Amino acid sequence: MPKTPTIKTTLPGPRAKKLIKLDKTYVSPSYTRVYPLVVDQAKGLWVHDVDGNIFLDFTAGIAVNATGHCHPQVVKAIQRQAEQLLHMSGTDFYYTPQIQLAEKIASVVPGNGPKRVYFGNSGAEAVEAAFKLARWHTKRELNIAFFGAFHGRTMGALSLTASKTVQKKHYNPLVPGITHIPYAYCYRCAYNLCYPDCELFCVKWIEDTLFRTTVPAEEVAAIFVEPIQGEGGYIVPPPGFHKEMCRIAKKYGILYVADEVQSGMGRTGKMFAMEHFKAKADIIAIAKGIASGLPLGAMVAPAKIMDWEAGSHASTFGGNPISCQAAMATIELLEKSLMKNATVQGKRLMKGLHELQKTYECMGDVRGKGLMVGVEFVKDRETKEPATKWRPAIIRKAFQKGLLILGCGENSIRFCPALTVSAKEIDLGLSIFEEAVREVAG
């Protein structure tokens, strides 16, 4: 595999052009492709397009290929299982991989005591399951979620989402009883306060205002939260935020549901991002990185909370045996070395970006944990006016130079390479990113 990006054709190349034309004819126009990459094959962090161009991938298929593209151990686990059993439906029958994976997940999710795992196929399904379980267990109807949150696109998960109106337009009425509140987005505090002087006003406001005026706490089933907001802009809340939120939730018998779909499975250097905040959620939703690219979602809760009866929720494909084997191989790799690598390379990436921030005024904020790192672009450091046009221009420029990155929020770029990324690959990504920033906004 090459160690530098190689762009041999204009982009898109002739084969890519043909396929994109065909895609436009047959594939749903609801997808949001920001640049014309047509992938043929990939290994580790290196992606080959259909015209033989080679790219360094800092997207990991939107934070999914945790172990890099086609990790040999994951591929072997998939191949072995494919020869033995493709599907039987874990909702109606038993099979070993689903049971073994449930046992493994229960052991890596923080918290003592017995736990149960529900399997679906995606992040939205994991969140949807948490939504239903919270209602089932508490028999309460209301829920709280955050502005900027992305929890998925099925009607329940979409109702919790508050990221972009295009995701909700024409889909109302959605599930009722959800109140969205400001996230602890300190770079742009909704209350114009500064941490730590604010004394976590955004959390206090819930008890002092929300619960006293419009939302009776005793009717709230759950608070849904991303430990670090993903789609909303890779926003890291301040220390103490989740701990204080958990305290309030517990006080009123409300379940704290951590959507770890993007932040979980080692991406931040710990198995789950909540661990950075020394706080423990009641329910966890997992997907994306869990099976290195195979479709799998999981919702995990203590046995005393996952107390629903047979038939109350299920999925034909959820916990597919091949996905379960891929997940077991993935977790083994994460535990062996990749979480540690995420910490080490994440620090290198953050350090490099902070260095660039000294030169490029437009890099308003650099933030993240492990390999979940975001840069927010502004026109002016003082006014923090979002540089919404530079963001896509930088992403496209990086693509032309052979680096794959994606946006998040209104004006941020996310860096979420595979957890196998090397120091050389981090440095290479940083240098291409710098060229793109310099040429667009320098």
Among 122, 315, 343, 411, binds ligand PLP (CB under 6 A): 122
**Closer by beta carbon to ligand PLP, 222 or else 430:** 222
Among 61, 68, 97, 152, binds ligand PLP (CB under 6 A): 152
Residue 124 in the binding site for ligand PLP (CB under 6 A): yes
**Closer by beta carbon to ligand PLP, 128 or else 244:** 128
Q: How many residues bind ligand PLP (CB under 6 A)?
A: 14
Residue 287 in the binding site for ligand PLP (CB under 6 A): yes
Residue 261 in the binding site for ligand PLP (CB under 6 A): yes
Considering only CA atoms, which of 40, 61, 50, 44 is closest in space to residue 428? Answer: 44
Which residues within the stretch 220-239 sit at the binding site for ligand PLP (CB under 6 A)? 226, 230-231
Window 186-225: contact mask with ligand PLP (x via CB under 6 A): ----------------------------------------
- CA dihedral sign of residues 141, 145, 150, 151: negative
Residue 123 in the binding site for ligand PLP (CB under 6 A): yes
Q: Which stretch binds ligand PLP (CB under 6 A): 91-99, 145-153, 268-276, 364-372?
A: 145-153
**Closer by beta carbon to ligand PLP, 294 or else 430:** 294
Among 262, 292, 325, 343, binds ligand PLP (CB under 6 A): 262
Among 19, 127, 257, 324, binds ligand PLP (CB under 6 A): 127
**Closer by beta carbon to ligand PLP, 297 or else 429:** 297
Residue 407 in the binding site for ligand PLP (CB under 6 A): no
Residue nearest to ligand PLP (CB): 123
Window 156-175: contact mask with ligand PLP (x via CB under 6 A): --------------------
The least distance separating ligand PLP from the CB of residue 105, rounded to whole angstroms, comes to 17
Interacting residue ranges for ligand PLP, rule: CB under 6 A: 122-124, 127, 150-152, 226, 230-231, 259, 261-262, 287
